[in-house]
Structure formats: structure tokens, C-alpha cells
Amino acid sequence: MRFTLTDEQRALRADAREFAEANIVPQAADLDRDEASPDSILAGLGERGYAGLTVPEAYGGRGEGMVELALVTEELSAGLMAVASALALHLGVAEIVERFGTDAQREHVLPEMASYDRVGALGLSEENAGSDKRGIETTATREGDEWVLDGHKRWVTNYDDADVVLTYARTGPTEDAPRNVTAFLVPADEFEVDTVWETLGAKSVKSPKVTLSNVRVSDDWRIGEVDAALVERGSATTGINVPARAVGLARAALEDTVVYTSGREQYGGRIGDYQGVRWRVAEMARRVDTARLLTLRAADYADRGRDAARESAMAKVYATEAAVDVTNDALQLHGGVGYTTERSVERYLRDARLLTIAGGPNEGHRDSVADAVYERGA
């Protein structure tokens, strides 16, 4: 593990922070309140090259790794978590196309994804396929050179802006799971919106339930091997975005708390001078740093080609739960005003609460950590 960032990584982090402070923070409260899509911000990410952050340079991207993704995601999430979510899901689709698609698919799709002229969304989860994707009920039936897809997907983040949805459908017998699911790039306009949920947080980028009925997709838009999509997906690395988003929220909450407690006076002194407050802030800082280090370790393992399953699961559990605790502490230390929308801490807490569920509930990731410890040792 390299505990010191390179000059290039520090410069990237500084650039992402500058972008967030200039373009995201001034709009974040309004976007959240109005549940408005951050279209101009996302377009700016395309212009900045972040929409192709991890896309290979050969396809117009920046060719960065998972450490760089974690750094940029933290900065964007500190501004508005929903922006970081939108970018992460887009890059996750690009990763699958780049790793498992054909040369023709890469050349056709990735350059436009890198510039954000083609936006990707993920169609994976379903009502009966949440944490257990073996329950996928959407089907794809082959008819000559085409596949006919029927079913639904939910939690399709980015759908409102998406051009393509990476859609996972059952193509083999149920008893063959997980080797019975195939992935396809389906035009977003082939879906119909079924439900747009009102959610506790992440309000500005919606994740609706969408359906598809008798949709024909050419075999040219099958991504990866038939029946192998779930297995192939298990080696994806962009999931590091989830703990990185958590780090961004926790850090933003900590920074806001330091500013507030440094200026707020009660009982003749600054509340930041009272030991109870100071110790609580110190604990918040410890958790932010630990979450960041675990996240960067997992990202670094992935960049080195090492098996990062244990490290990624540990980072996901710790960082997301730290984000909930730190943002909750921040609200408490802000007092009554923290419970209002006048301050951002209530939004940080609402957004953080999603992350213990997103990317698979933490209970499943705890099982992954335990499995690795028993198999590989502590």
C-alpha cells in the first residue's frame, strides 16, 4: 500500500475539489430540495474528462485507476453525493464494456461515454433479485441474431439521462445460477418507467423501476459471454466508488462541524473549546481517516491486480457505517439548526444512509470479510 499519493494524484484530487467547490456546492441545497437533475454539473464532468476517468486512453478516456476514482469520487460526494453516484454508475457500465465487450463495441461506445455524449445506466436489480442476483427474472430469449427481452429493473440510477442501460437477463436454466445470466446494452428508450420512488436522500438523481416488453436486441449488443455475465461482473472493480462516496460525505460533515463549533458560543465560550465536543470531533476525524485509508487500500490492491475482495468488502462496511455515524454526530453538534435545511448536515445524513444498502447490504459484505478471514487468515 502506498500511503503517500503521487504528485499526479494530488493534482487530480485538487482539481476535483476545485470543480466541486465551484460548480456543485453552490447548487447542492437547491438541487436536493427541488429534486432537480444536476445536468449542467454532469456535462461539466464530461468536459473535465471525469466521465472517462477510468476509460482507457485509446478510447478517449484518461486511463486512470481505482485510486484516482476513489479520490475524485470523495471530492464530488463531499459536494453532492448524487453527482458522485451518477458518475460512478456511468463508469461502472464503461468498465464492463471495456473488459468484456468486443473490439467493435468498445470502439463504438467508449469514446462517447468518455465525453459523456453517451450516458450509461445499470439494469441489474429487480424486485426478487436484490442482494441475491441469482433471482433475476428478466428473460432474454434468442431468436436468430436477436434476443427478445422481457421483464423489469429497479434502482436504475441515471435512467433519466441515460442513452443505454446495461441490462442483465436470464438466458439459462434457473438451476445453473449464477451461470445463467447474460448482459446486453439496451437503448434507454426501449424501457417504460413504472415507478419513480420518493427517497430519503439522493433526491436529485432518480433510480426508478423500469420495464421492458418484447424488446429486440441484436446479438451485436450482447456484452460478454452467454450465461457468464454475473460471474464476469464479480471481477469488476469500480464498486470502490461506494466507500469513496461515504468518505466524501463524512469528511464534508466533519469540516462543517469544525467551522460551526469554532464559531458557535454558549455559556461564555466557543463550544469547540469544550472537551466533550473536542473529543467527539476527534473521534469523527479518526473514523474519516480510517475509512479513507481502507478505501484507498482496496483501490490500490485493485490497481495492482491483486484480489481485493476482502479489502473492498471491509472498506465498504466500515466507510459506509462511519459515514452514518459521523454525519449523525455532525447534526448533533450543530444543535437545532442542524436539523433544518439551512445547513447541509441533515442532507449528508440522509444521503449517507443509502450507502449501507447500495452496492449490496453491509450484512452480505460482512459475510465476504468473514469468508476471506476463514479461508486466507486474518
CA angle 94, 300, 356 (to 5 degrees): 70
Determine the pLDDT at residue 1.
53
pLDDT (mean) for 296-312: 95
Residue 136 has pLDDT above 80, yes or no: yes
Instruction: Kindly state the average pLDDT of the residues 13-28.
Output: 98
Average pLDDT, the chain: 96
Cross-strand pairs, 187: 164
Return phi, psi of residue 216, to 5°. -100, 130
pLDDT-derived band of residue 183, with 50, 70 and 90 as boundaries? very high
Mean pLDDT of 76-83: 98
Q: Name the pTM for this structure.
A: 0.96
Cα–Cα nearest to 98, from 69, 133, 66, 57: 57
> Mind listing the pLDDT tens digit for each residue in 143-161?
999 999 999 999 999 999 9
Is the pLDDT at 366 greater than 90? The verdict is yes
pLDDT of residue 2: 61
* Segment 202-253, tens digit of pLDDT: 999 999 999 999 999 999 999 999 999 999 999 999 999 999 999 999 999 9
Residue 378 pLDDT > 90, yes or no?
no
Main-chain dihedrals φ then ψ at residue 305, nearest 5 degrees: 80, 15
User: Looking at residues 163-189, what average pLDDT do you find?
Assistant: 97
